[in-house]
């Protein structure tokens, strides 16, 4: 529930409609933009200085975890990963970095080298494909999966690293296989386990079920083990499934800025955070999310879609008469909260934005009057008629220049 709006927003999203109580519960986020996100085939790799700036944006948002690379992928990635880890140490950023690694001893040891050279602890996210499809393609059997799980987790513990054990394609893996793999990982020292919805297969219902299943595995182990959720967008369900995973008890949620990532991308962490803010689970300021998503557009070359929630160019823009009329009535009442919510599910002001009214073929008198007032012009019947005629003859929103030309022609007659 949005604080301050309770008196006129009735929230059917709650288990008990009308309840004002939000159950206090902590939530952590792990940003994947700099590693998993940059696997997008459409993304350019940002320069190191830009990546360094991005770490500071994450810290400002209160995002605690960040994937800074897969050191084993190349010598250049190894050096870049060390650079980012050193910046976290140098600036004293409140970030807990992690590095991806296959369940291969050499990969684990490279993460240890990054940690030593940077002088800070680094979590190792050791991953292995667990689904039948992946095992068939790779020629693996369960005995092999269990062997490399035990070896990699125990090696990480031996080296003084904190292991997070990740099963790839978790959401298409048989529960008996998951139980054996996660039980082995926990037995050998993993204190964080991660569900990876690698191909974005899970529905919200599936997310709740699998998180609940892993919670039972953790409970049976008797150990204090955190559960992460790592979602993807292949079916368009990544945002909903991530929120469902949190609802079911996941401790940390993964995602990337504007959902950048392989194929369709990862769960959009900016929208995950915004929704949890709306739900009352995240109390920190989220205004820097605008800077967060704009960083991606600037440095990766991946544009923010016009219809992307909150941050797209059309998010708080209307050219429809009925909508404009309601917004203007709220403006005349002098209630900025009402202006922000009468035709919007989330306040534009949270992100340094505002509701905007434009003129087009679906506009009414309210849009035209608003445009004239915004441009410091007296609202006259002649001006209204000239702009309305221009709008009705157009097949899209009309620009300020087009309106000014029409008004100039009116003055010249």
Tell me, yes or no, whether 112 and 158 share the same domain. yes
Q: Considering the domain boundaries, does residue 7 fall inside one?
A: no
**What contacts 333, CB < 8 A, 6 or more positions away?**
none
**pLDDT confidence bin for 153, thresholds 50/70/90:** very high
The tokens for 59 are 């810290």
**Digit-coded pLDDT (tens) for 32-88:** 999 999 999 999 999 999 999 999 999 999 999 999 999 999 999 999 999 999 999
Task: Identify whether the C-beta of residue 282 lies closer than 8 Å to the C-beta of residue 276.
Answer: yes
Give the residue, 171 or 344, on which the prediction is more confident: 171
The tokens for 407 are 């008004």
Average pLDDT over residues 140-163: 97
Q: Considering the domain boundaries, does residue 5 fall inside one?
A: no
Tell me, yes or no, whether 207 and 279 share the same domain. yes
Tell me, yes or no, whether 53 and 151 share the same domain. yes
pTM (predicted TM-score): 0.91
**Digit-coded pLDDT (tens) for 246-296:** 999 999 999 999 999 999 999 999 999 999 998 889 989 999 999 999 999
Which of 43-47, 149-153, 324-328 is predicted with the least confidence, judged by mean pLDDT? 324-328
> Which pLDDT belongs to residue 84?
98
Give the residue, 312 or 412, on which the prediction is more confident: 312
> Which pLDDT belongs to residue 20?
54
Q: Considering the domain boundaries, does residue 250 fall inside one?
A: yes
**What contacts 55, CB < 8 A, 6 or more positions away?**
66, 84, 87, 88, 91, 93, 95
Tell me, yes or no, whether 264 and 403 share the same domain. no
Tell me, yes or no, whether 270 and 358 share the same domain. no
> Which pLDDT belongs to residue 1?
45
Q: Considering the domain boundaries, does residue 8 fall inside one?
A: no
Please report, for residues 129, 240, 253, 264, 361, the alpha-carbon distance to residue 246 in angstroms, rounded to integers and kept in the order given.
23, 10, 7, 22, 43
Q: Considering the domain boundaries, does residue 198 fall inside one?
A: yes
Tell me, yes or no, whether 164 and 88 share the same domain. yes
* Cα 172 to Cα 38: distance, rounded to the nearest angstrom: 24
Give the helix/strand (H/E) hosting 28: strand 28-31
Helix (H, G, I), strand (E, B) or coil at 102: strand
Tell me, yes or no, whether 389 and 332 share the same domain. yes
Query: What is the length of the chain?
Result: 413
> Which pLDDT belongs to residue 184?
98
Work out the mean pLDDT of the chain and round it to a whole number.
Answer: 92
The tokens for 15 are 């288990």
Q: Is the pLDDT of residue 301 over 80?
A: yes
Q: Which residues of 120-151 are buried (b: 16+ CB within 10 A; e: fewer)?
A: bebbbbbbbbbbeebbeeeebeeeebbebbbb
Rg of the chain in Å (alpha carbons):
25
Tell me, yes or no, whether 150 and 81 share the same domain. yes
Domain of 406?
A: 317-412
Tell me, yes or no, whether 281 and 366 share the same domain. no
Percent of the chain past pLDDT 70, that is, above it, reads 95
Angle made by CA atoms 247, 250, 252, in degrees to the nearest 5 = 120
Task: Identify whether the C-beta of residue 34 lies closer than 8 Å to the C-beta of residue 67.
Answer: yes
**pLDDT confidence bin for 126, thresholds 50/70/90:** very high
Which of 49-58, 138-147, 306-315, 361-370 is predicted with the least confidence, judged by mean pLDDT? 361-370
Average pLDDT over residues 357-367: 86
Which of 7-11, 27-31, 138-142 is predicted with the least confidence, judged by mean pLDDT? 7-11
Helix (H, G, I), strand (E, B) or coil at 89: helix
Task: Identify whether the C-beta of residue 195 lies closer than 8 Å to the C-beta of residue 211.
Answer: yes
Q: Considering the domain boundaries, does residue 18 fall inside one?
A: no
Q: How many domains does the chain have?
A: 2
Of these ranges, 198-212, 272-286, 397-411, the one predicted with the greatest mean pLDDT is: 198-212
Q: Is the dihedral of CA 326, 279, 234, 300 positive or negative?
A: positive
Q: Is the pLDDT of residue 368 over 90?
A: no
Average pLDDT over residues 337-360: 87
Task: Identify whether the C-beta of residue 77 lies closer than 8 Å to the C-beta of residue 297.
Answer: no
> Which pLDDT belongs to residue 40?
95
Task: Identify whether the C-beta of residue 188 lies closer than 8 Å to the C-beta of residue 154.
Answer: yes
Tell me, yes or no, whether 233 and 321 share the same domain. no
Average pLDDT over residues 207-216: 97
Give the residue, 10 or 154, on which the prediction is more confident: 154
Assign residue 241 the CATH number of its domain.
3.20.20.70
Which of 60-74, 89-103, 307-321, 323-337 is predicted with the least confidence, judged by mean pLDDT? 323-337
Q: Considering the domain boundaries, does residue 21 fall inside one?
A: no
Tell me, yes or no, whether 278 and 326 share the same domain. no
Q: What share of the chain is helix, strand, coil (3-state, %, to 5)?
A: 50, 10, 40
Tell me, yes or no, whether 280 and 329 share the same domain. no
Which of 161-170, 231-240, 363-372 is predicted with the least confidence, judged by mean pLDDT? 363-372
> Which pLDDT belongs to residue 18?
52
Q: Considering the domain boundaries, does residue 19 fall inside one?
A: no
The tokens for 63 are 């995002």
Last residue of a domain, one of 275, 300, 325: 300
Q: Is the pLDDT of residue 186 over 70?
A: yes
> Which pLDDT belongs to residue 17?
55
Task: Identify whether the C-beta of residue 300 lies closer than 8 Å to the C-beta of residue 40.
Answer: yes
The tokens for 46 are 């940002």
CB atoms within 10 A of CB 344: 16
Last residue of a domain, one of 300, 331, 358: 300
């Amino acid at each position: 529930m949005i604080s301050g709006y309770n008196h006129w927003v009735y929230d059917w999203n709650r288990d008990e409609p009308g309840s004002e109580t939000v159950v206090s519960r902590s939530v952590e986020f792990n940003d994947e933009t700099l590693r998993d996100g940059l696997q997008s085939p459409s993304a350019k790799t940002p320069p190191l200085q830009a990546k360094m700036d991005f770490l500071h944006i994450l810290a400002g948002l209160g995002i605690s975890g960040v994937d800074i690379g897969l050191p084993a992928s190349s010598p250049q990635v190894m050096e870049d990963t060390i650079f980012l880890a050193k910046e976290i140490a140098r600036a004293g950023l409140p970030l807990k970095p992690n590095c991806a690694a296959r369940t291969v001893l050499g990969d684990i040891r490279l993460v240890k080298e990054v940690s030593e050279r940077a002088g800070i602890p680094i979590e190792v996210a050791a991953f292995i494909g667990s689904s039948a499809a992946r095992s068939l393609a790779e020629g693996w059997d369960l005995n092999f999966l269990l062997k490399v799980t035990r070896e990699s987790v125990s090696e990480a513990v031996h080296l003084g690293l904190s292991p997070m054990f990740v099963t790839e394609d978790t959401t298409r893996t048989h529960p008996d296989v998951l139980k054996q793999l996660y039980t082995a990982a926990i037995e050998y020292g993993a204190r964080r386990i991660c569900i990876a919805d690698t191909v974005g297969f899970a529905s919200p219902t599936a997310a709740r079920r699998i998180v609940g299943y892993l919670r039972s595995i953790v409970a049976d182990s008797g150990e204090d083990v955190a559960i992460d959720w790592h979602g993807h967008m292949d079916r368009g369900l990544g945002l909903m499934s991530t929120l469902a995973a949190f609802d079911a008890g996941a401790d940390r949620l993964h995602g990337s800025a504007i959902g950048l990532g392989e194929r369709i991308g990862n769960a959009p962490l900016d929208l995950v955070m915004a929704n949890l803010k709306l739900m009352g689970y995240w109390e920190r300021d989220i205004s820097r999310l605008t800077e967060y998503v704009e960083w991606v557009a600037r440095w990766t070359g991946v544009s923010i879609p016009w219809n992307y929630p909150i941050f797209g160019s059309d998010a708080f823009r209307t050219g429809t008469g009925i909508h404009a009329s309601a917004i203007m009535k709220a403006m005349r009442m002098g209630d900025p909260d009402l202006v922000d919510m009468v035709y919007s599910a989330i306040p534009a002001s949270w992100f340094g934005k505002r509701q905007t009214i434009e003129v087009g073929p679906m506009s009414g008198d309210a849009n035209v009057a608003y445009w004239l007032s915004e441009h410091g012009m007296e609202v006259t019947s002649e001006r209204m008629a000239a702009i309305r005629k221009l709008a009705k003859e157009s097949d899209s929103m009309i620009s300020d220049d087009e309106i000014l030309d029409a008004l100039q022609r009116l003055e010249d007659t």
